[in-house]
Amino acid sequence: MANVVVVGAQWGDEGKGKIVDWLSERADGVVRFQGGHNAGHTLVINNHVYKLSLLPSGVVRPGKLSIIGNGVVVDPWALVAEIKTLKNQGVEISRSNLRIAENATLILPLHRTLDIMREEAAGTCKIGTTGRGIGPAYEDKVGRRAIRVQDLKNLDKLEAKVRWLLVHHNAIRRGLGKLELDCTDLVCKLKEIAPQILPYIDITWDLLDQLRREDKRILFEGAQGSMLDVDHGTYPFVTSSNTVAAQAAIGSGMGPGVLGNILGISKAYTTRVGSGPFPTELTDETGRLLGERGNEFGVVTGRKRRCGWFDAALVRQMIRVSGITGLVLTKLDVLDNFPNIKVCVGYELNGKRVDRLSAGLSTQEHVVPIYKTLEGWSETTLGTRTWTDLPMQAMRYVRYIEKLIECPVVLLSTSPQRDDTIIVRDPFEI
């Protein structure tokens, strides 16, 4: 049975949550494999709105197993709060449908405060993080001093590990002129939250392997977008983990040979939150209109998203890096009633044509987009569920994008509602 990996093909906020939820109807398990609660997914199901940050999107589907993989950094307090919110909305969450990798890294209060302190100290050089401690937690992970989920099962050894962690963090705090942290206070907080996390802890790589052996379908859910990848994105304005499809194997504990089809998610235009290069950004009335129609505000932070035309050169680059086999185009309806729609087909740099973004920030900031202008459509696409019901110009827009990105468009999303999805090709069979 085919497994599917879902990754963002832009700078995040592409609508991955809805697509994962839609696909999870045909999957047996959904696993998050990177990021933390800095990622936000909004699901609209029968007019009920569910806002997820850390939980896999499949958790709202009855009978589906949701797994938080080892590649995720887990804020236990944020997780408990999110579970409580969903339960209050009528979603059943228990060990029967949620598991957390025992070897996932914990985000602690000290990570959040360090994240904020460093951003404040950076001034005009700040990255634009969400301030949720994601980066500092990953730093402790690779520094081999992190507190992990499994440590909540071994509370007798927890104090020694926290003391070792604070050797590092208190040195940084002294350098920033901040008060040092007390080990006892943090240990008490962890002991208090531990009973609410313990029921979900599992050896998730083994659990996923059991699903594989039983020929069950596994859906791998990525967070953020490929252009925020710490290696392949617009560094340093990136997240602290690998967001490309290959991370699905590492962050879940499964071999790369079982990943299956790779779906990239992209808006029919482009958005970005926070600082960093954005070649097709529109700061005029058109950009404002895209943001207004698309309700472009971050699910987690509420920050206004920057908006621009679709960047085919950028998406094509991420398709190659992630090995994407099919693209999902979301928010097509936002482009309704634009008389003309532009698509970036490449860039100009120092008078020369280039077809990719290089790794250098100075280059990324100075490329000028080369646009192709297409005729728009006046008919509405909102809520359309079949390809033949689309306006002819909308069809031509999709086909032109396919040609530019050298990848088939397999699904189209025409509203936040789960069922407002056009199947162009079966994503499990591409």
The tens digit of pLDDT for each residue in 328-360 reads 999 999 999 999 999 999 999 999 999 999 998
Question: b vs e for 250-283, b when ≥16 Cβ sit within 10 Å of the residue's Cβ?
Answer: bbbbbeeebbbbbbbbbbbbbbbbbbbbbbbbbe
- Tell me the average pLDDT across 244-254: 97
Following CA atoms 383, 387, 392, 395 in sequence, which dihedral angle do they give, to the nearest 10 degrees? Answer: 100
391 prior amide bond cis, ω within 30:
no
* Residue (of 363, 296, 419, 298) closest to 39 by Cα position: 298
Say whether 336 is catalytic: no
Is the predicted pLDDT of residue 20 greater than 80, yes or no?
yes
pLDDT band (50, 70, 90) for residue 25: confident
Of 13, 115, 333, 420, the active-site residue reads 13
- Tell me the average pLDDT across 12-19: 90
Is the predicted pLDDT of residue 409 greater than 90, yes or no?
yes
pLDDT for 104 equals 98
* Residue (of 334, 353, 364, 363) closest to 268 by Cα position: 334
pLDDT band (50, 70, 90) for residue 425: confident
Question: Which one-letter amino acid corresponds to residue 85?
Answer: T
* Residue (of 16, 19, 4) closest to 40 by Cα position: 16
Is the predicted pLDDT of residue 40 greater than 80, yes or no?
no
Residues 414 and 233: their CA atoms lie apart, in Å, by 28
The tens digit of pLDDT for each residue in 159-200 reads 999 999 999 999 999 998 999 999 999 999 999 999 999 999
The tens digit of pLDDT for each residue in 299-325 reads 666 778 999 999 999 999 999 999 999
Is the predicted pLDDT of residue 21 greater than 90, yes or no?
no
pLDDT band (50, 70, 90) for residue 17: confident
Say whether 48 is catalytic: no
pLDDT for 276 equals 92
Of 41, 111, 169, 232, the active-site residue reads 41
